Amino acid sequence: MPTSLTRRVIDQALALGFDAVGIAAADSLDQDDHALTQWLAGGRHAGMAYMAREPRRRSRPREVLPGAKSVIVLAMNYAQVEPDLRRGTARRAPTSKIVGRVSCYAWGKDYHLVIEERLAQLEAFIHATAGPGTDCRSYVDHGPVLEKAFARQAGIGFIGKNTLLITEAFGSWVFLSVILTTLELEPGLAQTSQCGSCRLCLDACPTGALIGPYQLDANRCISYLTIESKGEIPDELKPQLNGWVFGCDICQEVCPYNAHPKPTAVKAFQPDQGAGPWLDLERLMALTSDEAFREMFRDTPLLRPKRAGLQRNAMALSVNRKGGR
């Protein structure tokens, strides 16, 4: 059984709306560090130069927060109950519009806005409970921390062949965040892969971005190409976009662990709180100013690629529909 202090931290996190909580020791993850080094050396991080900045820190929490003893890993479910979106079958598009698909995580409000507020509340609870001298540092996928690796160590889930963390209760439809702390908490039990011989995600990826089990080449990943990339989408990959204008869920939709999603309890993640599952491409292309773009997608993840990026994606989809230039 967890110690009293560990139990109180976990219970408070659950009370704040996190769906799963685990503790990992703030030890170095040497195997994950080696894997990251190899991934970077192969150029598979594409244009994400920030991944190559001091990569050793990502697997060494004490280099990020001196004196760190524990990593509190938190997961929040964002799944929507759309049965026809699972198992690789796209929901029927609106027939009256030319549309592009949006990754499920971006249907509602920006998850950073939701999670950061709750992390701050959990940090305040830790400081009040543990007393003076306890230090914390929290991140929602924007800090030098291998969140998925520490989630595995904390026992929240295992890393699947599609390189995503898969939980027992929510599949891979979860946002991850972490709190590094100098507080010593009782760690959970690390999980190992439970994919077995399944390779549905590898076979379903239309661009071949999953070049092998647990190996992702971001240069070919639809999510990278439509969100993080600053350049043009390669002509040879445009026909494989499969209608995605922002992100991609294909390797999640076909995963057996995602076959029966539990709907999120967070209202902010619902489609009526943001862009929803489809973008009207004609309306998107009609935006002529960054101000109008920011107003349309205020407080949503779709601000990430900026107007130029989303309109680039829309153009790529339009070229496919017309059979090329």
Which residues belong to the active site? 141
Strand order in the sheet with 244-246: 244-246, 99-102, 278-280
Six token digits for residue 97: 């519009």
3-state helix, strand, coil in the chain (%, to 5): 40, 15, 45
Q: Which residues of 12-50 are buried (b: 16+ CB within 10 A; e: fewer)?
A: bbeebbbbbbbbbbbbebeebbebbeebeeeebbbeeee
Distant-in-sequence, close-in-space partners of 28: CB < 8 Å, separation ≥ 6:
59, 60, 62
Check: CB of residue 177 under 8 Å from CB of residue 115.
yes
Six token digits for residue 57: 């820190």
Six token digits for residue 263: 């709907």
Q: What dihedral angle (degrees, nearest 10) is formed by the CA atoms of 228, 243, 280, 259?
A: -90
Q: Tell how far CA 176 is from the center of its chain.
A: 7
Task: Read off the DSSP letter of residue 72.
Answer: E
Six token digits for residue 150: 């520490």
Alpha-carbon distance of 305 to 146, in angstroms, equals 23
